[in-house]
Chain A
Amino acid sequence: MLNETKFVNLNNDQNINIHFCNNHKFKTNLIQLYFLQPLSNELEASMTALLPSILKRGSDKFPDNQKIVRALENLYGASLSFAVMKRGENQLLRFSLEVANEKFLPTKENIFKESMSLLKEMIFNPNIKNNKFNEDYFKQEKLVLANKIKSVINDKYSYAMERCFSVMCENEKYGIYKLGSLESLAEITNSKLYNHYQKLIHNSPKTIMVVGDYSPNYLKNAIEETFDFNNTTEIYDQNTFLNKDVADVKFEAESLTINQAKLAMGFRTTITRDQPLYYALLVYNGMLGGFPHSRLFQVVREKESLAYYVNSFIESTKGLLIVNSGIESTSYERVRELITSEMQKIADGNFTEEEFEWTKKALINGLKAEEDNNKGLTAHYLLSLVNKKPESLAMLIDEINQVSPKDVTKVANKIKLDTIYLLKGKED
């Protein structure tokens, strides 16, 4: 039987990294192109973040955004999305295209190849004059990105988390926001950006992932016909510095006119996805704050009614863990104590067989369910690629099954509190 969740490499004459998951059960076909760019400074980060917005505005053949949008709508609402992400101390650019499988269209017309040419056109054939991007697009998109950077504050949950990470990694590359800063954005000139673009498309590691209902040969040929770049560098992380030093716990508080205070506590796990203890870290995080049966939800919310949400999650490329909660400012100390004491209990091995087993089951259930989601499949495979450990969901499940309670306490004892960030109301 065909393994419908496994990505295979499609070798090709152009040495393009193609990871293909041949899958029949979805109604759509998905193709994603990723570029990896090490985080080095805010200016570079801003430039990388600005590129997709400008590329989206128009290309050589589709000089304005309206033509692109209309072409996509005609392709039965093909969705083309460009995203900027941060994984470890890297920026990742994702160009993603999802189109209906033509099998299900009233006309059965082939829309995949046409969509793919459009994707290629947008990324590799921009609207350029005299080694510059279209000046209007450049100016407008700089403004749009500035507004996007400023708008982080509109979502207080994300804002608290971003602030916590930036205080925590103040002197590390990870402290750079994925979109750069307002100051660095202002420094970008059109020609600087064009040079950056040239560097990025020619030299950056890049990879293509496809989840679709095609024969490998058909797909390989279609990609070779469409894309004319040559590339051998895989999007492996070569840049992330694993900081193990925590001197004193940092504390930062900020006041805004808001109704609910946000607490974000940042920890160093020093465990990344390529380490053997990574699987135990997944179990640890699940027991602490990943699920409704987890310690934090049970104690802070269900037992003490102090919060509506309280959760934890890990960054597995940089080795971080963060706990988030929305609370009354006045319960800050109590909530902080509860969080640290629950973490201590797990570190002391003071947990039940039940919560340990339930967490494994919940993690495995979540991973198996990812197989039913084309974007879930690529998101998982992407992380494993970046961390130089390409593995299928099945392999990951296998590893989780082998984690012992002892491994969990071992992990728990490595985790150190680094930064506490509290966002509170003005009158509190």
Chain B
Amino acid sequence: MLDRLYNQLLDETVYKTKLENNLTVYLIEKEGFKKNYALLATDYGSNDIDFTDRISGEDVTVPAGIAHFLEHKLFEGKKESIFDKFASLGASTNAYTNFTSTSYLFSTTANFYASLTNLLDFVQEPYFTEENVEKEKGIIIQEIKMYEDDPHWQSYFSMLTAMYQKHPVRNDIAGTVESVMEITPEDLYLCYNNFYQPDNMVLILIGDFDKEETIEEIKNNQAKKEFKMPNKINKIFPQEPTTVVKQEVRRQMNVSRPLINLGYKDPETNLGTRELVKKDFAVNMLLDCILGKGSNLFQDLYAKGYIDNSFSTGYNCTDHYGYLQITGETDQPNILLDILKKELLHIKADDINDSFDRIRRKYIGNYIKLFNNFSALASESVNYHFRNLDIFSVIDILTEVKKVDLLAYKDTLLDSEQHVGVIIEN
């Protein structure tokens, strides 16, 4: 049975179903589009290094970077390279890992069903050997080194490492050279068997295709496979203190001029999923009101030469942690950090009142634009699904955000001593 969800404003339709093996499937109908896009994701990312093994019932800890390592290794088929298999079908494939999920995707204008089968098969048929795991280490170490030379990435992780005492969000997504060297095929199978089960995964399909036939293809493919899911997933997270590790970080890198990252640790965690999404919108809107390009503060700092268009803000939260960050290149890192910290304590209610309607219109426009972009639409659908929401309920949540929410978050988030200032300089 396919549940049909329709949004009148957007004139978009999404179908949703849960298969017998508990895999959730969304089909997003995009009439007139040439390509079909599929993304298979697991609710498992770089944060998930402590958990109770579903099979043995024992608590385990695995090396940092293992989710990302798994993402690389699933592309190794038993008989042939997965890249080659997609290439023979004329489809392009990719994958990515973030803090909370891992996604595998393809995009194609031909051989949709064969590509879909291929996607399901390669993610659901792991093949790890001593030899192929060792070989991958050289490649991943080069990937880590590439990020070591990326000042923006380094300033971001310097901030997270200084902000979080225990939570694994402080670890780089790819891990470290040392943690990657430790990884064995057994570790990979352990994580795979726990998290790559249909009840922990979602499949998003976007394009112009026959929905009934597509679902049949998926069902037939899944019916041939057996999955072991004896117990529920139990991820273990350390109790994170509300205080930061340290308030200042200075690092030397080869950069044309200094780069700052100012992070604020959110004292409030453990919200319900809908509340979490609402808060995500509210705080990001707050940041746009007070530090966006249309704000007085941005314009003032720009005119004084402290910031330029590299300046940006953002807020992220999951059920265990939240942080907001402000980042940009500047010639005056110390002065800029001081001004920001001081100004953020004195945000006037008027700054929010005057800007709220304008920023809200911008967010509605951005939500409409999301339906142009298959990869963003798929990845957002995954994020919301893992929070038990569908993509259309997002616009309802967005319109529920009120000025008072922004004002309240201003007080809880910004009137805090729990901030970290990072300076990357030459």
Contacts and interface: CB of A to CB of B under 8 A. Distances in A.
B92 interface: yes
Size range of the interface on B? 35 or more
A259 B254 contact: no
B139 A307 contact: yes
Interface in B336-393: 358-359, 361-366, 368-369, 371-372, 374
B415 to A, nearest CB: 26
A171 interface: no
Given A66-B299, A364-B90, A369-B109, A73 B359 contact: yes
Interface in B46-99: 81, 83-84, 87-93
Contacts of A366: 92
B113 interface: no
B303 A136 contact: yes
Contact of A78 (B149, B365, B372): B365
Given A74-B361, A76-B361, A365-B110, A27 B371 contact: yes
Contacts of A371: 34
A292 interface: yes
A354 B294 CA distance: 54
A183 interface: no
A151 B368 contact: no
B1 interface: no
Interface stretch (B140-148, B194-202, B224-232, B405-413): B140-148
Given A66-B294, A104-B9, A308-B142, A150 B31 contact: no
B34 A369 contact: yes
Name the residue in A78, A259, A301, A307 with the highest tally of chain B Cβ atoms < 10 Å from its Cβ: A259
Interface in A37-94: 64-66, 69-70, 73-78
Contacts of A257: 252-254
B358 A147 contact: no
B267 interface: no
Contacts of B296: 66
A293 B83 CA distance: 6
A258 interface: yes
A326 interface: yes
A358 B374 CA distance: 24
B258 to A, nearest CB: 11
B351 to A, nearest CB: 13
Contact of A70 (B254, B259, B294, B371): B294
Contacts of B35: 365, 368-369, 372
Contacts of B257: 147, 150-151
A303 to B, nearest CB: 9
A147 B256 contact: yes
Nearest to B288: A73
Interface string A366-391: 10110111100000000000000000
Nearest to A426: B254
A366 B107 CA distance: 9
B90 A362 contact: yes
B136 interface: yes
A415 B223 CA distance: 52
B145 A76 contact: no
A302 to B, nearest CB: 7
B237 interface: no
B11 interface: yes
A359 to B, nearest CB: 8
A69 B294 CA distance: 5
Interface in B143-190: 143, 145-146, 148-152
Interface string A348-362: 000000100010011
A154 B146 contact: no
A307 B142 contact: yes
Contact of A64 (B31, B33, B90, B299): B299
A78 B351 CA distance: 22
B32 interface: yes
A106 B10 contact: no
B308 interface: yes
B63 to A, nearest CB: 19
Given A258-B254, A260-B146, A4 B358 contact: no
A326 B146 contact: yes
A153 interface: yes
B34 A368 contact: yes
B43 interface: no
A410 B364 CA distance: 53
Contact of B329 (A151, A152, A306): A151
B362 A309 contact: no
Contacts of B241: none
B112 to A, nearest CB: 11
A291 B299 CA distance: 43
Nearest to A155: B150
Given A140-B305, A309-B146, A372 B81 contact: no
30 contacts: A27-B10, A27-B368, A28-B372, A65-B299, A66-B296, A66-B299, A70-B294, A74-B358, A76-B364, A78-B365, A100-B368, A147-B308, A147-B329, A153-B255, A154-B152, A154-B256, A154-B259, A259-B148, A260-B142, A260-B145, A308-B142, A308-B146, A326-B145, A358-B84, A361-B87, A362-B87, A365-B110, A368-B35, A369-B107, A369-B109
Sorted from nearest, which 6 A-B pairs have the closest CB atoms? A76-B365, A305-B138, A361-B90, A77-B362, A77-B365, A293-B87
